[in-house]
Structure 1
Amino acid sequence: AEGAYALVVMTEHEPRKIVAVRRVSPMVVGLGDGETFIASDIPAVLGRTKRFLIVEDGEMVIIDDTGARITTLEGDPVERDVFVVDWDAGQAEKGGYEHFMLKEINEQPAVITETLAGRLNQDGSVWLADVTFDNDYARSLKSVWFTACGTAYHAGLVGAALFRKLLRIPAYVEYAHEMRYNEPLVGSDSLTIAVSQSGETADTLAAARLAQSQGSRLLALTNVVGSTLAREADDILYTRAGPEISVASTKAYIAMLVAEYLVALRIGRVRGDVDKDLAADIARGLNQLPGLVEEALAREDAAIAAAEQIVGASDVYYLGRGLDYAVAMEGSLKLKEVSYLHSEAMPAGELKHGTLALITEGVPVIAVATQRPLFDKTMSAVSEVKARGAHVIAVAYDDDAAIEREADTVLRIPTAPDLIGPIVAAIPLQLVAYHVARLRGNDIDQPRNLAKSVTVE
């Protein structure tokens, strides 16, 4: 057989039997109390069971009155241990919030704490149980490749920039669906980091397999324990974000970013690129993050006011430089996903190379300005759009007074170290996207035409 599929079949001749088969596309069997479920991934049925059978490629599932069993396509029995998920089913409920997206945005301080728990020491040393490469391997690395799609790609943008800055090593990020056809120069001296919330993204799996086939070691950065990506990787770093129900990712994205800092510290300390003082500074910043994010969340009223300013727009543009550009990309995607407004993000320096022609009176432009060394350059671009009549909304630190001269509205975030500032800056952009969608009356948790886990190419 060819192609990718996950099929569930019934027949009127045996009404109490279900047969399911998978090739490439993922499948799990949920074992409930007197009931059995077939789904593409664990979160789909988490509210009904925590016990699962993972169906491997080219296997068949037979469900009847005796229970569920897995066989080969030829019918030979396959022994498979039951996999128990430790997620709390209560996390898959709204818990008093109007939408899962808002609940998940507000869970981010706790998620950051969980992602760091037991992994990061105050001196910046890191212990990652399932990242098993030795010190010699870390020292031998010549390049690091991030591959991902969508929000995970934007996390990869931050990761690649972070690795270049801290490790002084070539670090690249490629869309998984492009990496497969771009002849990536990965090999035994390369580490490929595949980033996927679900661990089932078809294009990311294909790119990861390509990298492995060329001799690269594969590190899976994923949220779902037992996912295909986790099972196939050489090393695993689970983000521990818990079940994310809303299609638009928020807390899983933040957890991905935090996890990337842990990997960078793990490699950087071994290689000597990150000295003790810098490692301790980064650890201090990461441990401050839950409180900083909590404070950013407390300023939701400002995000609501900004949402009211752009809800009637037909186009919204996002600007940033360096790490701020990666955050702008993610903010733009969030707005597109849930509000259905056209949105575009670009490096601030690219504005004059075409997009400035689209800036007219009243067009909203959201500028992210947390990178202090790049502030003046970012403000130069803001001045350009302001001169064309744009309505400028800026994301900036509490201690940044200069921003008031250029921006019509400022979304203030608590002052943070440059390296972790972009994580905090993501919070108001998530809230703005959510509230624009709410004001427009959209189906926020299930945006049209989109799926949580993209299991097809």
Structure 2
Amino acid sequence: MTMDMATDDPVADYIREQPAVVAATLSAARAELTSWSPTARGVVLVGSGSSMNAILATAPSFAAAGRGPVLARNPTAFIAEAATLAGWAGLAVILSQSGASRTTIAAAEAARAAGMAVLIVTGDGASPIAALGLPMVVMPIGAEPIGPKTKGFGASIAAMLAVAERLGAPLPGLPGLETALADAVEPARAAMERFATAVPALDFLMVAGQGRLLGIAVEGSLKVAEMAGIPAGGFDTEEALHGRFHGLTQNSAAIFLTADAAERAEAARAVAVLGSLGIQAGTIDAAGSPGLCPVPALPAPFQPLAAVIPLQWLAYHLARGRGIQPDQMRYPGLSQKLAIKTDQQP
């Protein structure tokens, strides 16, 4: 399967391409970073939308690099704080798959003006952000000219892990990463089709996770909103337990992402409580324990790559179940109307 194929079902194609794209991106980013040797301490990770979610999923690796404090900021917040942040943070890593987000481009310019070292991570080497002439990693994603990004999200995680590794956080050896992810794709598709069928009148989806999986919870909820047009929210698990259940109905559902025994026990209690209220709920365990969907047990840095696949398929099936094309968002042209992109992005 080629990375640039175009069919009548692009989202499904992109999800299936994701394992190969992840492996290619990890390899390419490592090669591109060979000559990049920043000495700065203090790191700010900047992005919005799916890019911010990839940042949340990889921030622990940046912290493990031992380069001092690590902060995640949306571009607008970073711009407002750039002068202050430059007082202790010497490096800004700017992530933008499209390379066309107006505020992300402005954030890169603000970081440079503040005297920070800057690294751009993008999927388009000819994009407006690439034209700034800053050090750059280009992710070999191939075509993904639709709004709800899937394979580009996986690539973003892979590229950011490579950057963190270059800063001093070695990745565990896993030569079978692509195979492990590829083997998870079809079981996830079937499992999440069953879950989508069980909630035909879904009015809200809660997705909860913590640590690296918080970014996946938020990303999963974003995909459901983008593809299926269903209200959804991603929460830190502890926050989800404090009052959020009162906003759920018998037509709502909740998914808890877990990665260790303590998280599994907490999620099991939550699922039991919601079940007693007639609310559909379940777990997806990134460490390979049984749940709604089989997920391969991978080392911690790679767990978000596996955990996101079921949520991408869930969004796809929820859209299909409502007669919606998953690649066609409910309100076309919002990026232009909201003036958040520099060109004709979805």
Fold conserved between structures, TM > 0.5: yes
Tell me the equivalent position of 1:426. 308
Find out whether 1:196 has 2:100 as its counterpart.
no
Q: Which residues in structure 2 correspond to 1:286-365 (within 5 Å)?
A: 287-299=175-187, 300-365=189-254
Aligned amino acid, residue 176 of structure 1: P
Tell me the equivalent position of 1:16. none
Aligned residues: 336
Aligned amino acid, residue 298 of structure 1: E
CA distance in 2: counterparts of 1:243 and 1:446, whole angstroms: 16
Change (3 A) 1:330 1:233: farther
Find out whether 1:438 has 2:338 as its counterpart.
no
2:57 to 148, 155, 158: 158
1:167 to 60, 66, 77: 66
Change (3 A) 1:177 1:443: farther
CA distance in 2: counterparts of 1:218 and 1:234, whole angstroms: 7
SS at match of 1:218: strand
Aligned amino acid, residue 174 of structure 1: R
Deviation at 1:320, TM superposition (A): 0.8
Q: Which residues in structure 2 correspond to 1:250-265 (within 5 Å)?
A: 250-265=150-165
Structure 1 unpaired stretches of 5+? 1-87, 120-125, 269-273, 404-409
Aligned amino acid, residue 201 of structure 2: G
Deviation at 1:383, TM superposition (A): 4.3
Aligned amino acid, residue 105 of structure 1: I
Tell me the equivalent position of 2:141. 241
SS at match of 2:105: helix
* Contact 2:271/2:282, CA 8 A, preserved across alignment: no
Tell me the equivalent position of 2:32. 128
Q: TM-score, normalized by length of structure 2? A: 0.88
Aligned amino acid, residue 307 of structure 2: A
CA distance in 2: counterparts of 1:105 and 1:369, whole angstroms: 22
CA distance in 2: counterparts of 1:173 and 1:324, whole angstroms: 15
Change (3 A) 1:383 1:171: farther
Find out whether 1:455 has 2:344 as its counterpart.
no
Aligned amino acid, residue 99 of structure 1: D
* Contact 1:320/1:378, CA 8 A, preserved across alignment: no
Find out whether 1:108 has 2:46 as its counterpart.
no
Deviation at 1:313, TM superposition (A): 1.0
As a proportion of its length, which structure holds more strand? 1
1:142 to 36, 41, 45: 41
Deviation at 1:222, TM superposition (A): 0.4
SS at match of 2:201: coil
CA distance in 2: counterparts of 1:182 and 1:191, whole angstroms: 14
Deviation at 1:257, TM superposition (A): 0.2
* Contact 1:146/1:159, CA 8 A, preserved across alignment: no
* Contact 1:292/1:414, CA 8 A, preserved across alignment: yes
More displaced 10-residue stretch of structure 1: 329-338 or 214-223:
214-223
Change (3 A) 1:163 1:386: farther
Aligned amino acid, residue 400 of structure 1: S
Aligned amino acid, residue 53 of structure 2: H
Find out whether 1:392 has 2:298 as its counterpart.
no
Question: Which protein, 1 or 2, shows the higher relative CO under an 8 Å CA cutoff with sep ≥ 6?
Answer: 2
Aligned amino acid, residue 293 of structure 1: L
Deviation at 1:390, TM superposition (A): 2.3
* Contact 2:102/2:342, CA 8 A, preserved across alignment: yes
Structure 2 unpaired stretches of 5+? none
Deviation at 1:355, TM superposition (A): 1.1
* Contact 2:204/2:248, CA 8 A, preserved across alignment: no
SS at match of 2:311: helix
Change (3 A) 1:431 1:350: same
Change (3 A) 1:174 1:184: farther
- The sequence identity of aligned pairs, in percent, is 24
* Contact 2:209/2:237, CA 8 A, preserved across alignment: yes
* Contact 2:288/2:294, CA 8 A, preserved across alignment: no
Q: TM-score, normalized by length of structure 1? A: 0.68
Find out whether 1:216 has 2:116 as its counterpart.
yes
Find out whether 1:227 has 2:127 as its counterpart.
yes
- The structure number with the bigger radius of gyration is 1
